[in-house]
A and B are shown apart, each in its own frame.
Chain A
Amino acid sequence: MQNSGSTRTFRDLIAANQRQSALLAVGFVLFSVVALLVFTLVLVALGDPGALEAMDLATLGAVALGWFTIATIYTVVGYWRGDRMVLSVGGATAALYDSQLDNVVEEMAIAAGTSVPKIYLIEDEAPNAFATGRDPSHAAIAVTTGLLNKLTRDELQGVVAHELSHIRNYDTRLMLLLAVLVGAITLLSDAVWRAQRVSRPSSSRRESGNAGFVILIVGLLLAAVAPIFAQIIQLAVSREREYLADASAVELTRNPRGLADALRKIAADPDVLDNATQATAHLYIINPSRGLFGHAGSMFSSHPSTEERIRRLESLLV
């Protein structure tokens, strides 16, 4: 990734990322409308079976339009306010001036030719970091106090360069939209399952007739599969971005050793990050939850295996 021919590739990848984000936003709104429509019908069928047959195309259209508006507003709000939510979920507060951290962040921003992101601090001894923001001029990098205490300057520089690359490559935008999507789908399917449980048993299903029954089955199936499916997509996208961010980080620091050493140190650290949840795990430089789903490289892992990342970084050493 170091010869001059690859600089073009980085640009292509960034452009592809931006296209992907736009497609995702549009696709998500459309998908949500279909899913919400089906879920509405399921809820109607569960509540009053007769009402389903009484529904005409106009009512259906009105419901679809209503859901379309809600899905759009939801996506837009997630896009504009998501970074603040991510930061507060991660327990990050605006950092006071720290000459080394500030210098490193500013140096990397200069090397990347982007504006300097806001710097946030997480009071936690587990060394880790993440980035968020919809574009490079509305971005933030959050690091834990443990990261500052345990890493050398070169290692910190590697980590900051990795996070800044997520911002510059528009990974943070993609991840924000993906988080919005996964969150919404999980919420929806949850609502359907709850409704199904509280509705009157068996009798209502028979009364609702054939169409109602099919919709019910499809709806429940969708509710069961959609969240898992959405999360698998999210994690696959996330895994792929990690390699790219590692490579772009080296493009900035010209020092693969720093990031490789940092990854090794963070992965080996016994402290566990308190504020990381399943929903935000994929944002961190190294997966903070090393539990059941933390198995590196698997379909349910947010990050490729650290050994593989280090191996790729060290192959850049000449």
Chain B
Amino acid sequence: MPDPTTLIIIGIVLAAAIALITVYNGLVGKRVETQNAWSQIDVQLKRRHDLIPNLIETVKGYAGHEQETFERVTAARTQAMGANGVAAQAGAENGLTQALRGLFAVAEAYPDLKASQNFLALQEELTGTENRIGFARQHYNDVVGQYAMALQQFPSSLVAGAFGFKPAEFFELEAAEEAAIQAPPEVRF
């Protein structure tokens, strides 16, 4: 017959180990979820990037001399495609949105272009993709928020600290857009 105190100690250690494993796995699950959510955004962003060369070609057919606008969009696209990290990506995507806005503003001046089926289809496709990016971003930020909460809440905060779980970055598009409004891009005529 083992000593009752030994049994109690074994019980406590076992319970603590199970609690630790549960909390740890919960944190890992949440971290993986943020990565999955991020890859969803990535898919949609890539789709957006893929649409742009086609869009530029179409607009060129009607408005060949708007070279500067095309270059700005192409540069913004290249920057967005090369961006690394959540904050950099958000900034670059915002730049691309601004550049595209400029492109569509140019298109306003060409009635033939605006009536072209190809252009309309591309515009629709781009709007749809932007909607998807919006929802993917919403989902990503939700998941990141839940993960951040778990990192700060007791007792999972202890486990997070001990095993070096780092919070994921929010995909802040609004903040970047706000900044863009405060400092409007230079427009030269």
**A interface residues with partner B (beta carbon < 8 Å):** 4, 7-8, 99, 103, 106-108, 110-113, 252, 254
Give the residue name and chain of the A residue nearest to B145 (CB).
A4
* Cα of A99 to Cα of B120 in the assembled complex, Å: 14
Stretch from B66-74, B78-86, B129-137, B169-177 forming part of the interface with A? B129-137
**B interface residues with partner A (beta carbon < 8 Å):** 33, 36-37, 40, 44, 124, 128, 131-132, 135-136, 138-139, 142-143, 145-146, 149
Partner of A111, one of B33, B138, B145, B146: B138
A110 adjacent to B135 (CB under 8 Å): yes
* Cα of A157 to Cα of B44 in the assembled complex, Å: 19
B64 to chain A, nearest CB (A): 31
A113 adjacent to B131 (CB under 8 Å): no
Cβ–Cβ < 8 Å partners of A99 in chain B: 124, 128
B146 adjacent to A7 (CB under 8 Å): yes
A113 adjacent to B40 (CB under 8 Å): yes
* Cα of A111 to Cα of B143 in the assembled complex, Å: 11
* Cα of A172 to Cα of B169 in the assembled complex, Å: 34
A106 adjacent to B139 (CB under 8 Å): no
* Cα of A106 to Cα of B136 in the assembled complex, Å: 11
B139 adjacent to A111 (CB under 8 Å): yes
Partner of B142, one of A7, A106, A107: A7
A113 adjacent to B139 (CB under 8 Å): yes
Most-contacted residue by chain B among A106, A108, A113, A254 (CB, 10 A): A113
A110 adjacent to B146 (CB under 8 Å): no
Partner of B139, one of A4, A8, A103, A110: A110
Q: What 5 additional pairs, Cβ within 8 angstroms, besides A107-B132, A111-B138?
A: A4-B145, A110-B135, A110-B136, A113-B33, A254-B138
A252 to chain B, nearest CB (A): 8
B175 to chain A, nearest CB (A): 17
B47 to chain A, nearest CB (A): 12
Partner of A7, one of B37, B135, B136, B145: B145
B135 adjacent to A107 (CB under 8 Å): yes
* Cα of A7 to Cα of B147 in the assembled complex, Å: 11
* Cα of A99 to Cα of B135 in the assembled complex, Å: 17
Cβ–Cβ < 8 Å partners of A113 in chain B: 33, 36-37, 40, 139, 143
Cβ–Cβ < 8 Å partners of B149 in chain A: 4, 7-8
A103 adjacent to B145 (CB under 8 Å): no
Cβ–Cβ < 8 Å partners of A108 in chain B: 135
Given contacts A4-B145, A4-B149, contact A112 B131 (CB under 8 A): no
B145 adjacent to A110 (CB under 8 Å): no
B132 adjacent to A106 (CB under 8 Å): yes
Give the residue name and chain of the A residue nearest to B124 (CB).
A99
* Cα of A152 to Cα of B142 in the assembled complex, Å: 27
Cβ–Cβ < 8 Å partners of A8 in chain B: 146, 149
Ordered by A's residue number, 14 sampled pairs between the chains whose C-beta atoms are within 8 Å are A7-B142, A7-B149, A8-B146, A99-B124, A99-B128, A103-B131, A107-B135, A108-B135, A110-B132, A110-B136, A110-B139, A111-B138, A113-B36, A113-B139
Cβ–Cβ < 8 Å partners of B145 in chain A: 4, 7
B101 to chain A, nearest CB (A): 22
Cβ–Cβ < 8 Å partners of A7 in chain B: 142, 145-146, 149
